[in-house]
Amino acid sequence: MRIALDAMGSDRAPTVEVEGAIEALRTLQSDLQLVFVGDRELIEAELDKHPDAPRGRIEVVHAPQRIEMGESPAHAIRRKPESSIVVGLNLHKQGEVDAFISAGSTGAVMAGSLVILRPLPGVDRPSVGAILPTSAGHTLLLDAGANIDTRPQQLLQFALLGSIYAQDLMGIERPRIGLLNIGEEPEKGDEQTLQTYQLLSESNLHFIGNVEGRDIIAHKCDVLVCDGFVGNVLLKFYESIAGFILQLLRKEMKASNIDIDLTRIFQALDYTEYGGAPLLGVNGVVIICHGGSPPKAITNAIRVAAQAVERDMTSHVLNRLGQLQPTRAT
């Protein structure tokens, strides 16, 4: 298995990428090979700091250009054909690697994936997923910010993509699909939500109905569907609340002179534990990491990508697109 890693993506590239990748090679399956894509000189200099790195399982592909965070994604993809993102995605398209990971510009990775890898047949818009910790497991949020304006049919597609991801990578045999709404009743919500509810009810997915914001933390569903505008607001609020709770705990413990091991709480709320966000619905395996990712997040992103390849998730999506056909009674 060969996975391409954009070595120039993160805020501290290529230090973070190299360190995280070497740890992945040490701890993951022995057949894993990593392809660093980026400035060869900088990557090689960083690799030289790790003399014990398994160099026989590492390849460097030179890509002299880098897409910066402030650049227009669509323009950058066209203007910088030798950027690490474009070169890495082309390696994936050509079958030279099995997956692509980047902590670079999310917009550029998405735009490049759409142009180079293309959406899978039957998928209008690929979706970015995000893992939310809950009181009894994890919930996959779709869409986490890729699509601001969506139609009901596209939200139905998100539900299918999320269901397959939950089965293949979260180990949930029959994922519960919830539709984020302002109330549980079927008649609640705007026109888009009402139509989406109807489509999900008529599908072969395990749709449990509307889910209110207060029920997310209770793990009412395994896959939570909404448009990217709402999803991104929810995700960022979720992340801020996690930090707020940990800050309060530290403050109270210090004031009360209490010493409690918060390791498991930190792990549950730490985004680096879950790797990156999968871009679902493109013809390939693409994982998007946060620009501020530490090495641990890169390691876990490689783990997630390897699992997606091992379980042939892309083929599963293709094989199950027929589930989107409504099952209306005649």
323: pLDDT strictly greater than 80: no
> Three-class SS of residue 324?
helix
Which residues touch 234 (CB under 8 Å, ≥6 apart)? 141, 180, 213, 216, 226
The kind and range of the H/E element at 114 are none
61: pLDDT strictly greater than 70: yes
The span from the CA of 129 to the CA of 171, in Å, is 16
pLDDT-derived band at 329, boundaries 50, 70, 90: very low
pLDDT-derived band at 82, boundaries 50, 70, 90: very high
The pLDDT value given to residue 263: 64
Half-sphere exposure of 44 (CA within 13 A, CB side): 7
**Sign of the dihedral defined by the CA atoms of residues 128, 302, 176, 327, in that order:** positive
276: pLDDT strictly greater than 50: yes
Mean pLDDT over residues 126-142, rounded?
Answer: 92
pLDDT-derived band at 249, boundaries 50, 70, 90: confident
The span from the CA of 101 to the CA of 157, in Å, is 23
Cβ atoms < 10 Å from Cβ of 61: 19
More reliable by pLDDT, 65 or 148: 65
Mean pLDDT over residues 264-279, rounded?
Answer: 72
Largest Cα–Cα separation, the chain: 68
| Residue-wise DSSP of 201-260 | HHSSS-EEEEE-GGGTTTT--SEEE--HHHHHHHHHHHHHHHHHHHHHHHHHHHHHT---
Which residues touch 140 (CB under 8 Å, ≥6 apart)? 129, 130, 131, 132, 162, 165, 166, 170, 222, 223, 224
Q: What is the pTM of this model?
A: 0.89
What value does the CA radius of gyration of the chain take, rounded to a whole number of Å? 20
Tell me the one-letter amino acid at 193.
T
pLDDT-derived band at 330, boundaries 50, 70, 90: very low
The pLDDT value given to residue 266: 65
The pLDDT value given to residue 257: 82
- Over the range 272-290, which residues count as b (16 or more CB within 10 Å of their CB) and which as e? bebbbbbbbbbbbbbbbbb
Q: What is the pLDDT of residues 96-125, one digit of tens each?
A: 999 999 999 989 999 999 999 999 998 999
The pLDDT value given to residue 328: 40
Domains of the chain: 2-123+281-311 (3.40.718.10), 128-266 (3.40.718.10)
pLDDT-derived band at 245, boundaries 50, 70, 90: confident
Most confident of 222-226, 233-237, 256-260: 222-226
